[in-house]
Amino acid sequence: MTGYGTDAATADGPVDPATLRALTRARRVTRDLADDLLTHLPDLGDIGTQRQLDTWVEQAADTLRALSDAIEERLLDVTRPQPTDDPRIHRSPTASLRRPWPPGASGGPDPDRS
Amino acid sequence: MMGLGDPGSTSALGGALRQQAITLTDLVVDLTEAAERARRGGRMDLSVRERELLSSTARQLDAVGAALQSFTATVLAGSARIRALADNAARSDLVIEGSVVVEARGPSRVDPVDRLRERERLQELLNRVSAAEGKELARIARELGRSGPALAALSERARLGS
């Protein structure tokens, strides 16, 4: 099972861990239900209605998969680091190497001078 | 259609669908409780759309599951009824072939008039069994015809993020 950190944050603050857990469970369960649905082989005994039912079962499994994917997207959204307006905070891997220039100033070094 | 199909398999699917609907509803309850806690803590409710999609899907699965279970119950009751009618038919040297009551082959000691009367009576009862099954089958077809497009719309909404 893919894990999602409980320290995820949105622009409005950290995401509630219980919400993350519930979304994670919903994502997994909906996927499992879709798989389970496709294991059934009902036989109605009437060709026309049987075809209708077979098509419906495939559609229902597709909907459950779409729900799982949508919840996955939601989880990615809420666990994705949010951009910040503070120019001193960067999310890139080299963020820790950057410092305000000169110290205490709001801007960085002038690229034309380097 | 009497005697055709596999009531066990349709019953299994119907039961599974209704159970899946319950499972989806449980997920909605979990998400709702988490959302209420988050709101109390001043956090955003992040699962409004997901809860709505899960609830709508649950309703569709439950409706079709219920129709399949109702159909199965009717088919099983019909089968029991047909067995009882077959016993009655045998006493008048009649047999049930599919959805028709016919005279058994060979000579019969049953009075021809009584036999004809009994044949008509049993045929009428057999027709009621067929009609009940046909009605349930039509109900399934209606539910599938209504639910299929509804599920397709839910799939589209989930994928479009709307």
- Would you say A75 and A25 are in contact if contact means Cβ atoms under 8 Å apart? no
User: Which pTM does this prediction carry?
Assistant: 0.80
Report if residue A77 sits inside a domain.
yes
User: How many separate domains does chain B show?
Assistant: 1
Q: Tokens for B8, please give them.
A: 């066990």
Q: What is the domain extent for residue B103?
A: 7-160
Among the partner residues B12, B50, B60, nearest to A70 by beta-carbon distance: B50
Residue A103, preceding peptide bond in cis (omega within 30° of 0):
no
Whole-number average pLDDT of chain B: 94
Q: In which domain, by residue range, is A23 found? A: 1-82
**Residue in the structure block whose two tokens are 């497009």:** B149
Residue A106 located in a structural domain: no
Q: With left for phi above 0 and alpha for psi between -120 and 50, is residue A81 left, alpha or beta?
A: beta
Grouping H, G, I as helix, E, B as strand and the rest as coil, residue B103 is strand
Cross-chain residue pair A60–B151, CB shorter than 8 Å: yes
Candidates A67, A71, A75, A77: best to mutate against B (most CBs of B within 10 A) is A67
How far apart CA B151 and CA B142 sit, in angstroms, is 14
Residue A41 with chain B: CB contacts under 8 Å:
9
Does the pLDDT value for residue B146 go beyond 90? yes
DSSP bridge partners of B96 = B101
Cβ of A74 and B9 within 8 Å? no
A37 assigned to some structural domain: yes
Residue A48 lies in a domain: yes
pLDDT per position as a tens digit, B22-35 = 999 999 999 999 99
Note down pLDDT in tens along chain A; length 114 residues.
Answer: 444 544 455 545 577 888 999 999 999 999 999 999 999 999 999 999 999 999 999 999 999 999 999 999 999 988 877 665 555 544 444 333 333 333 343 333 343 433
Which of the two residues, A111 and B116, has the higher pLDDT score?
B116
DSSP state of B62: H
- Give pLDDT, residue A97: 37
The domain tally of chain A equals: 1
Residue A23 in domain: yes
Structure tokens at A61: 């499994």
Residue A99 maps to a domain: no
> In 3D, which of A1, A69, A60, A72 has the Cα closest to residue A35?
A60
The whole-angstrom distance between B119's CA and the closest CA on chain A is: 26
| Gap between the Cα atoms of B103 and B100, Å rounded | 10
In a domain, residue A26? The reply is yes
Instruction: Name which of B16, B14, B27, B15 is nearest B56 in CA terms.
Output: B27
Mind listing the pLDDT tens digit for each residue in B29-62? Answer: 999 999 999 888 888 888 999 999 999 999 999 9
Residue B146 lies in a domain: yes
pLDDT for residue A67: 97
Residue B2 within any structural domain of the chain: no
Q: Tokens at residue B37, please? A: 């806690």
A111/chain B closest Cα distance in angstroms: 40
Closest CA of chain B from A92, distance in Å: 26
Residue numbers in B near A46 (CB within 8 A): 1, 4-5, 137
Is B109's pLDDT higher than 80? yes
Q: Determine, for residues B53 and A48 on separate chains, whether the beta-carbon distance falls below 8 Å.
A: no
Contacts of A36 in chain B (CB under 8 A): 16, 20
